Structure 1
């Protein structure tokens, strides 16, 4: 296995084993660093965490190597972690695997087993690199973990998601209804080291008040009228994974107190239950409301706010990223085709496309998705028309959905083709940015080369060069 510039860290206190393993890795093309203690291993990763594989001894002079498994497994590089142990207890191996280890070797090391392990590491790293390549390609096409868009706002959001995902700290997601807050939460979970655990979503605003405590923390049989069997709450169901609490601001104040206690103690007590149950959950809370304003108004506890508002993320409204509309429309049309079992996706008429481009979309991506789904079902011909989408009426004089001013100030006239609408938007952005193509390309969410090609195709020139 020629690993090129692969980087390895060997954490082993036995000098002979450490040197032998390091030599084999070097022959295999790895750049190898070594550490003989937990402290040295921590220092090594603090200095440089760009690792591809870590060989970690469980029995070290200053502590149990198990304490570092989680940290190594959650590094941004998503390195492989191979445990080295002289123990043969199955429970220790299981514990290491649950903590994030990808493989293990028993000591003394046997050449054949080591070779097989290195082959598995090579396969894992190849899979990781392929996943990175595909992710980069998808982001270039505007797709990231189920989120759609390649505007600057969405690219920043993707970067923030990748930064917060490896952490165990709570995340607070703010965004308007329908903007995709749950998709953001799922993306964080899927990119975290908890991705093998459950993802449980609970809408705090949709639970009747009398059932909220039971839904969150569970109940035992007979705890109240109708409680005919034991019920595990959202916290227990999400243990070892992620709990997404949507519309957290809707939670009653008395339950906010209980929630804060659970977050601080890491235990829940079912309604009517005699004992506490330990839970290991990462919290992602979301709201369309401004939680700081809710605190000021006395509707949300300040201590709970500070407990949850550790890693804040903002999901942009659809009207603030108009360049993503064509991509979203294409995606939802393809979804409609898949749902109908047809190979060819429906298409929008030019009038429908102009209506979509001109609409403000107060319900955000959810409203757009529902409109496209409705249009694909109700269309009478080959193409979806504005009335199929349930769009506001279109006035020939330029008013209504397709003729009103967009959020960015561009007026898309009635009957404009998609190409005409695109040219109007690009020209307006060029004017806004003083024809500085780099800034304009960033604002539109396209590459400078793409913008250059469009300007050349449309013969667009600065006013003083026309």
Structure 2
């Protein structure tokens, strides 16, 4: 998903010109006809996030300075680029004092606007990432710091906010790598115990013989090798939050003592003479099906119901492809700063490649892929070539029953063909030669799948597969090229370049249209 730029101008001609430029740059354009409409849009919690604002300074209702003042009152930190036909120094000073990050004079040139937008977005991303890292290290990371634009994740975060306002035990479920510990830290940092310790324990990494000692502590001389007294993780977290990661891996003996600690609010150190009172907020996490484990006798039923008071399930990354571009930019800023690299952006082609991957390792795998790409990058932009492990990876079928059709990414294709309106791309295109695309073509039948293998049994060239995918998208969206580019997650200009390079010629009602004229 490209960055969303809000254009605020009372002149409809100027709005359309700016919208065209912004879309040409590969961003998503949103417009408002005046200051009041812009403030209402930004204040609406259901409106998708806006990354930057291009704001006219002189408007009849609420002018640019008034909008900047209202944004400051609302607590928005969105970068604002002010534009006006009156470029006096007084206007510049007033706009900058009001919170604008840049100032351009109408009519702004494409190059100047692009540089301004990129600088504003880069500065905002870096500032946000630095603040997030500081809060993370200080233990004050909040739910608002979690990077997401997915509707599925917004529902999860609303539940997390309710959990943070209480001390109710929380059980976080989800596949490995989805960010269960991050959510646990955010719940802790958003609650009343945020000034107290957050202690994380990976139960799957504890040796069976030392589980009780590590969790509940031991006295000096309690067993061979216990040369010093150890208070245990429960006591360390007293007053704060104890996070038990992979709690399903605990052995039966430790499960019994954990149940008692939760019920009685006290722990009994190994070799201790009396129990020790503790006050902890308990958050657990698992990637196992604990209900199945209870049925199989691997996990205590009474302990399950003590932990499973407020369950939260994090969806896998494949179920929230809207988050991939935002996470990529988030990791890019962090790793570029840590590695001292001048990498500023990711190309539209690379983002489209990443958005179509299955990500079996979820967010952790994406993070590592971006880290590697930053190290491999030779310029200031990361392209598809910096993700060789993704380009060469075989398509991994993903379960789609849990996903609405609009969220099924391209990597869920079956081995016999790419996506169609029903989850498979079906096409009856010729396999070679230029293809004339009719915008009035009907949707191909789902049963007529495009083979990935040619008549010789070899994998078909990528340009042929890409041509089929583009033709299908044009037919599916009835020739609305802006919509086609947006759904393919590439810039409109990139789309037309691909059309020319692949020999595809859009036509309306069978009449060929000159691509260069668009």
> TM-score, length-normalised on structure 2?
0.51
The structure-2 alpha-carbon separation of the partners of 1:330 and 1:314, relative to structure 1 and needing over 3 Å to count, comes to same
Query: C-alpha separation between the residues in 1 aligned to 2:211 and 2:385?
Result: 41
Matched, 1:200 2:199: yes
Query: C-alpha separation between the residues in 2 aligned to 1:164 and 1:326?
Result: 28
What residue in structure 1 maps to residue 147 of structure 2? 148
Matched, 1:333 2:321: no
| Contact 1:347-1:382 at 8 Å conserved across structures | yes
Query: C-alpha separation between the residues in 2 aligned to 1:164 and 1:425?
Result: 42
| Contact 2:396-2:412 at 8 Å conserved across structures | no
After superposition, residues 37-186 of structure 1 pair within 5 angstroms as 133=75, 144-186=143-185
**Aligned equivalent of 1:375, options 373, 376, 386:** 373
RMSD over aligned CA atoms reads 4.1
What residue in structure 1 maps to residue 496 of structure 2? none
What residue in structure 2 maps to residue 283 of structure 1? 282
Query: C-alpha separation between the residues in 2 aligned to 1:202 and 1:300?
Result: 18
Query: C-alpha separation between the residues in 2 aligned to 1:265 and 1:363?
Result: 38
Query: C-alpha separation between the residues in 2 aligned to 1:131 and 1:178?
Result: 37
State the SS of the aligned residue for 2:282: strand
C-alpha displacement of 1:403: 7.4
What's the CA shift string for 1:132-155, capped at 9, x where partnerless? 8459999xx999443211110111
What residue in structure 2 maps to residue 249 of structure 1? 248
| Contact 1:171-1:285 at 8 Å conserved across structures | yes
C-alpha displacement of 1:380: 4.1
| Unaligned stretches of 5+ residues in structure 1 | 1-129, 445-462
What residue in structure 2 maps to residue 320 of structure 1? 319
Task: Name which of structure 1's ranges 378-387 and 218-227 shifts more when overlaid on structure 2.
Answer: 378-387
What residue in structure 2 maps to residue 269 of structure 1? 268
Query: C-alpha separation between the residues in 2 aligned to 1:364 and 1:131?
Result: 37
What's the CA shift string for 1:387-442, capped at 9, x where partnerless? 543524449xx96899754698477x9589xxxx99999997x89xxx9xxxx9xx
What residue in structure 2 maps to residue 215 of structure 1? 214
Query: C-alpha separation between the residues in 2 aligned to 1:190 and 1:423?
Result: 49
| Contact 1:354-1:414 at 8 Å conserved across structures | no
The structure-2 alpha-carbon separation of the partners of 1:132 and 1:390, relative to structure 1 and needing over 3 Å to count, comes to farther
The structure-2 alpha-carbon separation of the partners of 1:270 and 1:405, relative to structure 1 and needing over 3 Å to count, comes to closer
What residue in structure 2 maps to residue 347 of structure 1? 345
C-alpha displacement of 1:160: 0.6
The structure-2 alpha-carbon separation of the partners of 1:210 and 1:387, relative to structure 1 and needing over 3 Å to count, comes to farther
Query: C-alpha separation between the residues in 2 aligned to 1:235 and 1:427?
Result: 61
What's the CA shift string for 1:53-106, capped at 9, x where partnerless? xxxxxxxxxxxxxxxxxxxxxxxxxxxxxxxxxxxxxxxxxxxxxxxxxxxxxx
Query: C-alpha separation between the residues in 2 aligned to 1:203 and 1:191?
Result: 22
Query: C-alpha separation between the residues in 1 aligned to 2:73 and 2:270?
Result: 44
The structure-2 alpha-carbon separation of the partners of 1:382 and 1:307, relative to structure 1 and needing over 3 Å to count, comes to same
> TM-score, length-normalised on structure 1?
0.56
Q: Count how many residue pairs are aligned between Structure 1 and Structure 2.
A: 299
| Unaligned stretches of 5+ residues in structure 2 | 1-71, 80-123, 133-142, 398-408, 426-460, 488-508, 510-518
What residue in structure 1 maps to residue 362 of structure 2? 364
C-alpha displacement of 1:197: 0.9
State the SS of the aligned residue for 2:312: strand
State the SS of the aligned residue for 2:281: strand
The structure-2 alpha-carbon separation of the partners of 1:379 and 1:153, relative to structure 1 and needing over 3 Å to count, comes to same
The structure-2 alpha-carbon separation of the partners of 1:226 and 1:146, relative to structure 1 and needing over 3 Å to count, comes to farther
What residue in structure 2 maps to residue 231 of structure 1? 230
